[in-house]
């Protein structure tokens, strides 16, 4: 026998979300969560695009260096060593740029998360105040205990 899908078949989360207090809790958080996730993905995309460009530069540079070394090694060993050292210097510069970009990405992601959290708190506060005012208006003139 299959269970009918009625309005009473809601999960506890769905039930809470359908109340004004639940909308207050889940609305701002979920909207800001997805916005923040989009910002994090964009930052990770920027970082990875630059990282792959540097890897491609490293690969082509290595091919050029290997060609130089193979032609210079017999005739001019110091020049071959210099070519290898130059490639290693470039490799270290790329690693340094990786670290700098990674730090920038982490910093931007942290900044995004903090500002998102602040926006959620502010929105939550505004909604809480509006809900409290609404409840005060609705209950105005009513007794606390039934008479």
CA dihedral of residues 76, 81, 86, 90 (deg, nearest 10): 140
Report the C-alpha gap between 122 and 130 in whole angstroms.
12
For residue 144, what pLDDT is reported? 58
pLDDT digits (tens, 9 = 90+) for 75-113: 888 998 999 999 999 999 999 999 999 999 999 999 988
Residues 6+ apart with CB under 8 A from 127: 24, 27, 28
Q: Look at residues 62, 65, 45 and name the one whose alpha carbon lies nearest to residue 109.
A: 45
For residue 42, what pLDDT is reported? 94
Q: Considering the entire predicted model, what is its pTM?
A: 0.64
Report the C-alpha gap between 65 and 80 in whole angstroms.
9
For residue 130, what pLDDT is reported? 78
For residue 7, what pLDDT is reported? 53
For residue 3, what pLDDT is reported? 53
For residue 32, what pLDDT is reported? 79
- Between helix 77-139 and helix 20-72 the angle, nearest 10°, is 180
For residue 13, what pLDDT is reported? 63
Listed as ranges, residues in the chain with pLDDT below 50 are 1
């Amino acid at each position: 026998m299959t269970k009918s899908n009625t309005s009473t078949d809601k999960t506890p989360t769905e039930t809470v979300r359908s109340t004004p207090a639940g909308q207050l809790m889940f609305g701002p958080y979920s909207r800001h969560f997805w916005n923040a996730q989009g910002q994090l993905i964009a930052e990770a995309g920027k970082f990875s695009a630059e990282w792959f460009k540097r890897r491609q530069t490293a690969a082509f540079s290595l091919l050029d260096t290997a060609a130089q070394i193979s032609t210079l090694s017999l005739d001019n060993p110091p020049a071959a060593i210099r070519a290898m050292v130059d490639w290693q210097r470039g490799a270290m510069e790329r690693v340094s740029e990786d670290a700098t970009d990674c730090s920038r990405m982490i910093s931007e992601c942290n900044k995004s998360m903090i500002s998102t959290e602040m926006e959620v708190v502010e929105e939550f506060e505004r909604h809480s105040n509006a809900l409290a005012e609404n409840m005060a208006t609705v209950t105005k003139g009513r007794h606390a205990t039934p008479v």
